[in-house]
Chains A and B, each alone.
Chain A
Amino acid sequence: MSAPKKTICSVLILLMFSLIQFAPGFQSPSTAQKMPLIPELEKIMDAKTTTIVLLYGYICLGCPLGIYIYSVRDRQDTLFVVPSQYKPNEVENLRRAFSLKCRIVKGDDPNIEVFVNKLGEQLKIDKTQRNLILEIKDRTIVKIRYY
């Protein structure tokens, strides 16, 4: 029988990311404090939006972020906001890869990025982790998670 090959190291490295989800203590912390949404985000959300996903950090699909995105693929109450640097085809690639049914909006207003950075500083997370998930109730942020 052929033995396990050194050549699958790349796959194993990538699988580490998928397995890391099961590691204890990896869950992102959350904040319980309520805070208002900025008008620029209020403007792009609609009545059914209950979650805003701000994809401003590094995107690793095999990591918990990828698993989260995949888990909300059928939800229409989620709004994805991506940085203005995203090309239109990348927005479509994101939608197609995950079969996302929700809206994906480019955050063209610079105040959105300012808001993300401010939130990131408050949460003491570096730029790569600024994939923020805001749970919204009555136009107020009731919970924040990040990946």
Chain B
Amino acid sequence: MGKRIIWVFWGIFIIVLAANTFSGKTKALVKTKEFPKNEPGLSLGVITDIEMLNRKIFAVENNPQRRVLVFSEDGQYLNAIGREGYDEGELKFPILVSGWDKEIVVHGDSVFSFFKEDGTYLRRFNAFIQAISFVYVQDKIYMVGANRESKNLIEVFTRDGDYLTGFGEKFIKIDYSLFPKVKDHPWGMELIVYHGNLLTDGENLYYLNSMFGKALRYSLDGKRLVEKDIVSLFGPGGREVLKENERQYIRKEIEPSITFEMFADAYLCGNKIYILEQKQPTIDEYASGKKAETVIKVLDKRNFDLFEEWKVRKSEDESLSYLTIEERNGEPIFYFTQFIKDKPRTIVEYRLEK
């Protein structure tokens, strides 16, 4: 009788262990759609950012045309916002996009241009600060900018361009005497060292730094709520990136050359932050034949704790750069910008494998 109970116990233990092993860790994303396809006269150029708003996808095309392309969630091309130019409603060098309520804001060369979803121009203002990342929320622009003259990590403007406030301490101290080439540059090294993503859920701001692995959560009025080191989320690769970036940009043991990042992009949807990571094998793993893989890290937005990691099942030649996410029936649907050498660029939809 006693032995039978022990065997039953071990049986349950093995089943639970197997369920955990094969459910959480083996979740994967698979491609379910690719667009635009057979759209006359439409081919995607260089896409530098992508955003989801009101079930539409907004993709910033920076080259050869300067505009924002709008697609429905099922991949139908709807319209373009802006065109190349210097005048109001035109875009000279669009890089970033953010949407809130029914407005889309496009940023490039320190200018914020506001449009309706259908492309109607609304207003613009020049902040004279190049944004590294920004969000438009509650009628305000919150930006992490490349501005040496400011002590704040985040600057806040009204939608009409009035400067409201700044908050958050810059956590990277640059010794500019080590960098004579950028001594007189208004950006200095800021554009590089503060590279990352500023995200919002309408109540808080979340900033994830991809160069030095720091995550911060603030209330919209600037109160710091959480600060966390997220380097360990990226394992030995993360520690190696941190070490390399400190050598290049903090201690300048070597001339800054190649920029390394812990992750490629991040997006907030629901209660989670999704991080797109291009995971490279370590030297030992590489020697044993392991290849690079793309994963999505799922974080708890409240404290940046890691929930899960999902593999993105894609072909080796396919490169995914930016992501946006929509939650439908509780399931996240991912849209990535895709690049395959010698093939037209596309946006690809991925879903969790059933």
Contacts and interface: CB of A to CB of B under 8 A. Distances in A.
Contacts of A66: 185-187
Interface residues of A, number: 41
What 8 pairs across the A-B complex have the smallest Cβ distances?
A97-B128, A7-B264, A70-B186, A1-B240, A99-B149, A10-B48, A89-B161, A7-B321
A128 B92 CA distance: 11
Contacts of B80: none
A5 B278 contact: yes
Interface residues of B, number: 59
A38 interface: no
Nearest to A21: B185
Given A14-B191, A62-B130, A6 B321 contact: yes
B98 interface: no
Interface string B53-70: 000000000100000000
Contact of B186 (A11, A15, A90, A97): A97
Nearest to A22: B181
A3 B293 CA distance: 12
Given A6-B319, A6-B321, A13-B95, 19 more contacts: A2-B260, A2-B280, A6-B339, A7-B265, A7-B322, A15-B192, A58-B109, A59-B110, A61-B186, A67-B185, A71-B184, A73-B149, A87-B125, A90-B125, A90-B128, A97-B127, A97-B149, A98-B128, A127-B86
A18 interface: yes
Contacts of A59: 109-110, 126, 128
B194 to A, nearest CB: 10
A10 B95 contact: yes
Contacts of A35: none
B48 A93 contact: no
Contacts of A96: 128, 149-150, 163
5 contacts: A4-B258, A4-B259, A5-B264, A61-B129, A62-B187
Contacts of B86: 58, 127-128
Interface in B290-339: 292, 319, 321-322, 339
A96 B166 CA distance: 12
